[in-house]
Structure 1
Amino acid sequence: MEYDLVIIGGGPAGLTAGLYGARGGLKTLMVEMGMPGGQAANTDIIENYPGFPDGISGPELMQKFMEQAMRFDLEIAMGLVKEVDLKSDPKRVITDEGQYLAKTIIIASGARPRKLGVPGEEKFTGAGVSYCAVCDGAFFRNKKVVVVGGGDSALEEGIFLTKYASEVLIMHRREEFRAANVYQNRARENPKISFRLNSVIEEIVGQNKVEKIRYKNVQTGEISEEAVDGVFIFIGTEPNTEFLGGQVTMDERGYIITNDVMGCSLPGVFAAGDVRQKTLRQVSTAVGDGAVAAMSAERYLIESEQRG
């Protein structure tokens, strides 16, 4: 079946694009590999999304996004996108569940947590190593955990983990955090939180689960060990662009380069949200991207029809 618009990814950008596309009368399909909502659906509380002065949980907000988009007959297909052909007419999206044809495509495949790349990380993923505090925090009730990172996510998730853990150690490779002052102040005021600055994990150690970390002071070179039950890693993200096969222009880190209307380097192909090169990755910016991308796709279709 051929669609006017196929959206790859169901996070805030994809859901917004789906809302705008379907509401605009385009036959629109959104392809998502898991539960719609992306990383936002794994966030405990979102405090800076306009319209919710008391904050709202990530899962609840994403559920509202999905309900609103589906109200305008957005179609949703589950499946992992394996490859795409963005140069054919129509364009093709190939998933592990089937193939879809599209006149236009919006890539909103988002980004995934970046890994430390240290010994023990892969071995203990799911056995003490986690990239999602909301998903796994309850498993560490009355236990000691370390949070790695210095940005908003690291401190925000560290604060969240104090709901369960008896002690939260936040480790950062630099002397100062990059996180907003509001998160820094909350973390410093929390009696369950302590800090290790100028430090990096060298190895995650254990038998069948995480038992301790081996870490280094980057200023002195001193190696130390600390007994912990869990390691939560929040050191940034990497774009989900491997399936594109280099068909659109990307920067050196793999983020898609777009123009001011979300257009990519190929006609009829747009990108929105965390997958594209940008300075701020938030739900609010993803929503803006998704709206612009959908309107640009609609404009492209109109102009294509006019050209005959």
Structure 2
Amino acid sequence: MYKSIVIGTGPAGLTAAIYLARANLNPLVIEGLQPGGQLTTTTEVENFPGFPEGILGPDLMDNMRKQAERFGAEFKSAWVESVDFSQRPFKVKVDGQGVLEAESVIISTGASAKYLGIPGEQENVGRGVSTCATCDGFFFRGKKIIVVGGGDSAMEEAGFLTRFASNVTLVHRREELRASKIMQDRAKENSKISWALGRTPLEVVIGETGMKGLLARNNETGNEELIEADGVFVAIGHTPNTAFLGGQITTDANGYIVVRPGTTETNIPGVFACGDVQDTRYRQAISAAGSGCMAAMDAEKYLEGTMVHDWSETLDK
């Protein structure tokens, strides 16, 4: 029986673990398939406070893990298959390791960026391929960038990247965009944005000296063409990692966990959510870490019996 189980080890989960451990709650942290979360695929992190020279993503996550361990957090390398939140203690079924029980659970499983699934993409994430303009745009000052996508996120990413890039080419497989009219208009009014619509991405092309660009098929002519660029940003959305919850936690239409505004409380008292799994707006390491602190403090109040309100009915509506 654990007082608290943290599912996920990105900035949110590790920060929650640090706070819980310092409160002598000896949390168990389940690491999942990608310990450290998305930051482990990032090279240089320059926007996390406290590191004026920047820090490698894997190093930042390793430091946070060591900090949690220092205060008594226990880590388990495993995959959560399912949960049972129907009664207390809560049950967490772990792949190959049976069922664990806890008085409280913090969900910090994040959201996985959607990828194109083309050659040259996955192996070059962090080396020219990115899914986060805010994280990596700075590294492409004065360079040519491709943004793949046709929704509001792609328009926003393209606009942001024009602050750094000499040119941004927006690639979309259809001639029509899914983005709202206002976002399309803003992008079309930006002189640094060029358009390659009706192009299907085929391969991220890497040369001897680095990124060459994106090989795409012109859907009208059927010809393949190389769109030259120094970086490729994939902006086709994210998928929150909530399938294992089996519908027991209230989510929005896209699967993101709904929390009571200003807290990390879910529809089930004693179950909390933090980080990208409940954040559809910011999706930054520092905001995830902040929500991890909130989740730990909310869980501590719950375990102490000082959490006054049951917001489950509000969230169910």
Question: Does the TM-score normalized on the shorter chain lie above 0.5?
Answer: yes
> Contact between 1:42 and 1:132, CA under 8 Å: does it hold in 2?
no
Number of equivalent positions: 271
Aligned equivalents of 2:246, 2:67: Cα separation in 1: 33
Unmatched 5+ stretches in structure 2: 169-191, 205-213, 309-317
Pair 1:274 & 2:276 matched: yes
Deviation at 1:155, TM superposition (A): 4.2
Separation (CA, whole Å) in 1 of partners of 2:22 and 2:132? 40
Residue 252 in 1 paired to residue 253 in 2?
Answer: yes
1:156 Cα deviation after fit = 5.7
Correspondence list, 1:64-213, <5 A: 64-98=63-97, 99-116=99-116, 121=117, 124=118, 127-130=119-122, 133-134=125-126, 137=127, 151-152=133-134, 155=137, 159=140, 170-173=146-149, 177-179=155-157, 183-188=161-166, 197-199=195-197, 201-202=199-200, 204=202, 212-213=215-216
> Residues 205 and 237 from structure 1, CA distance in 2 versus in 1: closer, same or farther, beyond 3 angstroms?
closer
How big is the shift at 1:273? 0.0
Counterpart mapping for 1:5-44 below 5 A: 5-44=4-43
> What do you get for the CA RMSD once the two structures are aligned?
3.7
Deviation at 1:35, TM superposition (A): 4.8
Task: After TM superposition, give the deviation of residue 23 of structure 1 in Å.
Answer: 0.8
User: Structure 1, unaligned stretches of length 5 or more?
Assistant: 138-144
Alpha-carbon contact 1:148-1:235 (below 8 Å) kept: no
Residue 288 to residue 202, structure 1, CA distance change in 2 (3 Å): same
Q: CA deviation at 1:64?
A: 1.1
Tell me, yes or no, if the aligned pair for 1:151 and 1:177 is still in contact at 8 Å: no
**How far did 1:60 drift?**
1.4
Output the TM-score relative to the length of structure 2: 0.73
Question: What is the CA distance between 1:78 and its match in structure 2?
Answer: 0.8
Measure the CA separation in 1 of the matches of 2:198 and 2:130.
8
Provide the TM-score with structure 1 as the length reference.
0.75
Change (3 A) 1:258 1:270: same
Q: Tell me, what secondary structure is at the counterpart of 1:106?
A: strand
Report % sequence identity.
36
CA offset digits 1:230-280 (Å, max 9, x no partner): 977343321000000110110000000001220000010000000004421
Deviations 1:147-167 (A, max 9, x none): 68794357467x39x9xxxx9
The residue aligned with 2:186 is: none
Q: Partners in 2 of 1:257 and 1:131 — Cα distance?
A: 33
Query: CA shift at 1:43, angstroms?
Result: 1.3
Q: How many angstroms apart in 2 are the aligned matches of 1:228 and 1:12? A: 35
Cα 1:168–1:34, aligned 2, differ >3 Å: closer, same or farther? farther
Aligned 8 A contact 1:150 1:177 in 2: no
Local SS of the residue matching 1:295: helix
3-state SS in 2 of match to 1:179: helix
1:67/1:150 Cα in 2 relative to 1: closer, same or farther (>3 Å)?
closer
Structure 2 Cα separation of the partners of residues 152 and 305 of structure 1 = 36
- Secondary structure of the residue aligned to 1:178 is helix
1:9–1:27 Cα change, 3 Å: same
Give yes or no for contact 2:148–2:232 (8 Å, CA) kept in 1: no
What's the secondary structure of 1:83's corresponding residue? Answer: strand
